[in-house]
Amino acid sequence: MGGLLAGLGGGIWTLAAFVIALSVIVAVHEFGHYIVGRWSGIRAEVFSIGFGPRLFSRRDRRGTEWQVAALPLGGYVRFLGDSNAASAGEGVAVDPALRRQTLDGAPLWARSATVAAGPVFNFILSTLIFAGFLLVQGVPVEAPTVGAVLPAPAEVQNQLRPGDEIIGVGGRPVGEWRDLLTVTETLPAAPSQDWRVRRDGVETTVRGPDPLPNRIGGVAPGSAAAQAGLRAGDVILRIDETPIHRFDQIRPLVEAAAGAPLSLLIWRDGTEIDVTLEPRQQDLPLADGGYEKRWLIGISGGSYFEPATTSVGPLTALWQGVGQVGSIIMSSLTGLWAMISGQIGACNLSGALTIAETTGQAADAGIGNFIWWIAILSVAIGFLNLLPIPVLDGGHLAFYAYESITGRPPSPRIMGLLTSIGLALVLGLMIFGLSNDLRC
């Protein structure tokens, strides 16, 4: 798919994709606050997508005004008794008889559940998206078997057919999918190899592509490759003057360039195109918990065929979706601590400009990539909101934890002071992130 917003210019395209993604994520986040608050007996007066002047609105039978505002860069729920958003905590005068329906007047459990629901609903959204992809795509069958055969340049001899069960490559036996990677290490780099397959119950040898070919399987949003316009399915024929037959030939050339521009010859749908990109240095996590600086262009390897798949049940898909969300949260925690402790550079903190650009690139890569990126961004926003910083949901949960332990909330003076500090910290991080977008 050429892109979600193909008729628009680059800047408008990026902005529109960012607004769509942010609106979906914020709507789900705020709906979490709203619905759990309602279930807890807290009355919502306004549910708004966007800030500023109201464009249109509708009031439901419970008295909640649902509105879309002019600035679609966020949203909020305003509960009874609040002068601002759901978690703002700035009270206004309320009839004492209605105090139980306010956020401040509700029991501690109701306040805690209502505030925590926003990030939790972000995680639920991401889990459902990840699970949905798994339900649609399935998982590879246990025995390595060819599914759909994909287009390849003329130099690649690909006689594999859907349904072929792979039992060997280059004279080396293959019993499971991971054996293909092991086999690759022992084979000379070449466009094609001999594949031993079981076809219609009969073993035969055919010519097929290298098990780890020069085909791009994925492009990381926001990477040098994405910025240069590379796409999943592109085939790298040459880097500078070096012919490329296998994916593992790429990394040494990228490392040797050390940030200098690289000229790539790309095969795309039968056409050869020239692309220039500049590798970027990034901090990559190591197995021992440390980090290593490495030059990257932001691509992963693909194959000239898709694996045959089998369907999974909804519960399995949901469980794996939960695992995916948990993995992103753990990576975020690890990265945050590494940045605080100085193991990685501060340039790893991106601002709104980079996030918007990355969102636009994800949309350009197709609807599937865009939805997947929304899931990742939703986890990130949920995680960010749980940080124990006043003005964020996590800060309010920290206040509630204090109240639970001591039996009383922090004094208004202390809460006001900590909220001001938290607001200054959040604004400072936003400004710092924007400066990173411009200088890193």
> What residues are labeled active site?
30
Round to whole Å and give the CA distance between 177 and 165: 11
Judge contact between 20 and 8, C-beta under 8 A.
no
Judge contact between 77 and 34, C-beta under 8 A.
yes
Instruction: Tokens for 330, please give them.
Output: 């753990």
Round to whole Å and give the CA distance between 46 and 92: 15
Judge contact between 392 and 426, C-beta under 8 A.
yes
Round to whole Å and give the CA distance between 411 and 347: 38
Three-class secondary structure assignment of the chain? CCCCCCCCCHHHHHHHHHHHHHHHHHHHHHHHHHHHHHHCCCCEEEEEEEEEEEEEEEECCCCCEEEEEEEEEEEEEEECCECCCCCCCCECCCCHHHHHHCCCCCCHHHHHHHHHHHHHHHHHHHHHHHHHHHHHHCEECCCCEEEEECCCCCCCCCCCCCCCEEEEECCEECCCCCHHHHHHCCCCCCCEEEEEEEECCEEEEEEEECCCECEEEEECCCCHHHHHCCCCCCEEEEECCEECCEHHHHHHHHHHHCCCCEEEEEEECCEEEEEEECCEEEEEECCCCCEEEEEECCEEECCCEEECEECCCHHHHHHHHHHHHHHHHHHHHHHHHHHHCCCCCHHHCCCHHHHHHHHHHHHHCCHHHHHHHHHHHHHHHHHHHCCCCCCCHHHHHHHHHHHHHHCCCCCHHHHHHHHHHHHHHHHHHHHHHHHHHHHC
Judge contact between 174 and 144, C-beta under 8 A.
yes
Judge contact between 106 and 100, C-beta under 8 A.
yes
Judge contact between 311 and 135, C-beta under 8 A.
yes
Judge contact between 361 and 370, C-beta under 8 A.
no
